[in-house]
Amino acid sequence: MDIQTIDRLNQQTLAGKRVLVRVDFNVPIEAGQIQSDQRMRAALPTIEYLLKNQAQVVLMSHLGRPDGQVVEDLRLKPVGEHLETLLGQKVCSLSETMGEKVKAALQATDANVILLENTRFYPGETDNDPDFSRQLAELGDLYVNDAFGAAHRAHASTAGVAEYLPAYAGLLMQREILALNKLLDSPEHPFVAVIGGAKVSSKLGVLENLLDSVDMLVIGGAMAFTFLAAQGREVGQSLVEPELYDTALSLLAAAKKSNTEIILPIDSVMAESKDANEIRKVVCLQTDSGDISELAGVDIGPDSIRQLKQKLQGLKTILWNGPMGVFENPCFAKGTEAMAEILAQATDNGAYSVVGGGDSVAAVEKLGFTDRFSHISTGGGASLEFLEGKTLPGIAALRA
């Protein structure tokens, strides 16, 4: 898909222009403090590019799910304050998103960076209301979408505004598209996709779309138990989706036909619940594991980790989306951390690697491995839908 990108614009076309930029500043905040600014830092190159070319930058973003009404804890002011630190210059944070007060503030401020209030405080945002889109468009001369993490949403600020202004992809959006297209269009082999997380249903489209492209498909996290249970394995109280047993078996059969190796856990760390503070036992999933009727799988076991270290050698292309276990509980994070180490080592040895999904990215950040992967995606749901082969509304709106 040929899209308009801001690197086609220069100082001659940008100087003195007001550029309306959709960013994804939906960052975790606790007690007014930002817990991870990865998404904000990812947007800095676009903001700095526009500033360098003498444009005034008007930023818009959502935060959380306020459902079309003002929620005080979801105001963007803390984000604006942190952005000032990242940019090293003044950021004017407004308490509204559109309207005459906002227009007056844009005229009056001496700041070159303005942050509008949470777009989702208005029902017109998620409804992609044409009137709301038009009112947003009145705030700028050009529109730039750099919010890849929200590109799968047909909202006013991600798609609707592009109907009223010349529309371009930001540098982050461009980088995300190029990185994911490399996986879909021209991957070097061996190519492995490591897919984890809770439910098969949320990743089924990706599994099916990648099946003929990858050499190996590693399935971890709770979603692995649906495949194991479909094969008649005992999984105790582990999370499963019985309605997808037939689908899981069909996927396994299709993989065999396309000569794609599917790697499932061979042992599992079991506990009374995902919130437990201790491991009850590690069970082999290939044999009779004894009575685990009251236990649930919360991580891949040590034999699975050893198997992965052996199998994942000599890789040229890697996609990782989703944890191997209940990563947010430190007791059950070893499998995810081991996977991060295995894939980082493969990248060190020359593999091209893309990491997407909140917990996978969190594991990479926690271990200080960010620089050891080729691309860290800012999109969870967006990257999944892109890899399913779907057209994302926020990208389609930027067609040249």
Residue 130 and residue 369 in contact, taking contact as beta carbons nearer than 8 Å? no
Residue 344 C-beta-side C-alpha neighbours within 13 Å: 18
203 is catalytic: no
**59 to each of 5, 84, 120, 139, how far by Cα in Å?**
17, 13, 14, 10
Q: Is 236 a catalytic residue?
A: no
CB burial of residue 196 (10 Å; 0-12, 13-18, 19+) = buried
Among candidate residues 233, 280, 281, 381, the one labeled active-site is: 381
Q: How far apart are the first and last CA of the chain?
A: 9
Q: 117 near 95, Cβ under 8 Å?
A: yes
Q: What six digits make up the tokens of 222? A: 């709770």
Q: Report the alpha-carbon distance of residue 219 to residue 261 in Å, rounded.
A: 11
Token pair, residue 393, equals 């509304």
Chain CA centroid to CA 121, Å: 23
For the question of residue 358 being annotated catalytic, the response is yes
Q: How far is CA 393 from CA 58, 128, 155, 324, 343, in A?
A: 21, 11, 8, 31, 32
User: Contact 285/268 with Cβ under 8 angstroms?
Assistant: yes
Active-site hit among 18, 199, 280, 316 = 199
Indicate if 199 belongs to the active site: yes
d(CA 90, CA 279): 50
Among 182, 205, 309, 358, the one annotated catalytic? 358
2, 48, 144, 348, 382 from 340: Cα distances, Å: 34, 31, 33, 12, 22
Residues with Cβ within 8 Å of residue 227, at least 6 apart in sequence:
200, 219, 248, 251, 252, 262, 264
Residue tagged active-site, from 22, 39, 75, 334: 39
Residues annotated as catalytic are 39, 199, 358, 381
